Structure 1
Amino acid sequence: MPIRYLIVDDEEPGRANLRLALADHPGWELVAECDGNGAARASLAQHEVDVIFLDVQMPGETGLVLARELSRLREPPLIVFVTAYGAHAVDAFEVHALDYLLKPLDDARLAQAVERAAAMLRQRQREAYGAALRDHAEAGASPYPERIGVRSVGRIEQVIVDEILWMEAAGNYVELHLPARTVLHRITLNRLEALLDPACFLRVHRGAIVRRDQIASLVSGGEGSHKLMLRCGGVVPVSASYVAALKAALQA
């Protein structure tokens, strides 16, 4: 069964470039090309769509407006943002997307996005993806989410934030350490830290964040090194720049 996709971009060259690039991927079927959100809504009302390649900056309404609307659906199309912004600016809306592509398009990055979308569709993950979108779209009621949609390889699951004991950076992923397992989340540690309540979590290393109620003791090593012992049994390295904040947390 083909993967049906929609291109939404106000610039015709952008639509053409993406259409031609996707033509090299067998099994992908173009439903329509739209020059804005209005045309996209009309196409979505008439056709079943699996994936939307959505431009961010468009006249009138940005792609984020449409993304938030789609988040209300039980099984929304997977969203791949297409943007001219630098990667540092993408963090502001990364949580709403399965992936994002920077203009001008890079064939290797497009292939990664295509495979990621295909993997999620094979595993019937659209409902889980929809739940993750809704969590972020509704986050305005509380500054810190109770659950996060964890994106790993071809899969999204809901992880309760209160169950996270500690976390550490692992390349382009973050390892979330839960009571009985470890989950890989495709996000940067800095981005994840921005979503967490600082009253509950504390950064102790450039690559590690711990739950405050898991802090047990600070152990000094040679040459000024430190390690944090957690109540769950975990051992986390501590950077010198975080030692003072950690000592204050121990005395609280």
Structure 2
Amino acid sequence: MSDVNATASKLNFEIIPVTPFEQNCTLFWCQQTKQAAVVDPGGDIDKIIAAIDRLGLTLEKVLITHAHIDHAGATHALASHYGVEIEGPHKEDQFWIDMLEEQKQRFGGAFAYAKKFSSNRFLQQGDTVSFGNITLEVYFCPGHTPGHVIFFHRDSKLAQVGDVLFAGSIGRTDFPRGDHATLISSIRNNLFLLGDDVRFIPGHGPMSTFGQEKRTNPFVGDAAVGQR
């Protein structure tokens, strides 16, 4: 899936499903400069490299929402291949980065390449990340993991939210240091405040809008939390 809308700062994107979990690795690029960032390279590094080459892009950095293996497994490999820096997640996900080898043993051969990485810059609420002429806002949205962040491009009204929110669902909170109440707060008090017309790319499955989920999501919508 790709988007070539000519917005004020000309952000384009392509979703690249990777790993057996069909994780929505996202390639963002600046239409003017052709400089790019990859969000959550969980695996299938050849597919990601092929998309970058096909579009004639220059990868500038790797961005991580959280450090579960299906989102971060190929981070070290991709950053090393291009010689670029890694930004994200929040420092509270360091323990998940440290556990990448353990995660690899659990899931087997599909993640044989996974390796612990060192983030060049942990992110927190209020930070921004940039590539080309594009600036993304960072929002800290713990709950699925304690160090989960999301990326928002205000001009395009487009967010990449990892495993915080899905079309019709929300992220799991039964992993170590997950917390359901914290996740609901992150969605209601961070994501939904960005605007009903904001489209979002989830970590898995189809895109939606915050307004649609606020109206209909059975876990975090207005009806689910007793609001009208």
TM-score normalized with structure 2 length? 0.31
Larger radius of gyration: 1
TM-score normalized with structure 1 length? 0.29
Return the structure number with greater helix share: 1
